[in-house]
Amino acid sequence: MNFSSKLIEDAVNAFSTLPGIGKKSALRLVLHLMQQETEKTETFAEALVNMRKNIKTCQRCYNISDHHICNICSDPRRDKRVICVVESIRDIMAIEDTSQFRGQYHVLGGVINPIEGIGPGDLHIEPLLERIKAGGVEELIMAISPTIEGDTTIFYIAKQLRDLSVRISTIARGVAFGGELEYTDELTLGRSIVARVPYRTQGE
């Protein structure tokens, strides 16, 4: 595409680095900004830089946070006895939107995937075990996407906790097999938390 302007070209290229935005969409966004006040672009840019510079990871649950401990971990009304284990922060947002869960979370940062070279050491499994060993946790709800990798991860964690008196449950399989947790509708996701089932390893 011929922009006849280095400034436009730079801005279009900047937008094109974002996922799902091609050159034509990027140009549309740039032209939109051009039609707005300069101040709007500045506010927009500032919100992004401010977010990127100041965003933190919660030292307890690995959720994103404005502080060292996130809003959920520091909320005294949340039940500390139940931890919902999720793959990513997007899953926390999806579950929070259902308003069906009042416990705390733990973000693994992915699932065990030997093909992609992701082992237990690459995930936040050790800090989860430490949280449980510190005491007070009665139940772990595994809200992991129902895939082979997800099942492997649940199996691995359950095995590590075999000697500890913590109940492990998985969210009800209302979530379609092979589906992505974050795209599940609120009703299905909410119900699958309420109707969670005790986790059993094979052979038990």
Judged by the rule CB under 8 A, the positions of this chain that interact with its own copies are 1-8, 10-11, 13-14, 17-21, 25, 27-34, 38, 40-55, 63-66, 70-72, 89-90, 92-93, 96-97
Nearer to its own copies, 59 or 201 (CB): 59
Nearer to its own copies, 61 or 142 (CB): 61
Q: Which amino acid is at 21?
A: I
Dist. CA 100–CA 191, nearest whole Å:
8
Nearer to its own copies, 7 or 176 (CB): 7
Dist. CA 106–CA 72, nearest whole Å:
11
Least Cβ distance, residue 63 to its own copies (angstroms): 7
Query: What burial class does residue 176 get, using C-beta atoms within 10 Å of its C-beta: 0-12 exposed, 13-18 middle, 19+ buried?
Result: exposed
Q: Which residues pair with 180 in a beta bridge?
A: none
Dist. CA 153–CA 87, nearest whole Å:
10
Nearer to its own copies, 91 or 149 (CB): 91
Dist. CA 171–CA 142, nearest whole Å:
6
Least Cβ distance, residue 159 to its own copies (angstroms): 30
Least Cβ distance, residue 198 to its own copies (angstroms): 28
Least Cβ distance, residue 140 to its own copies (angstroms): 20
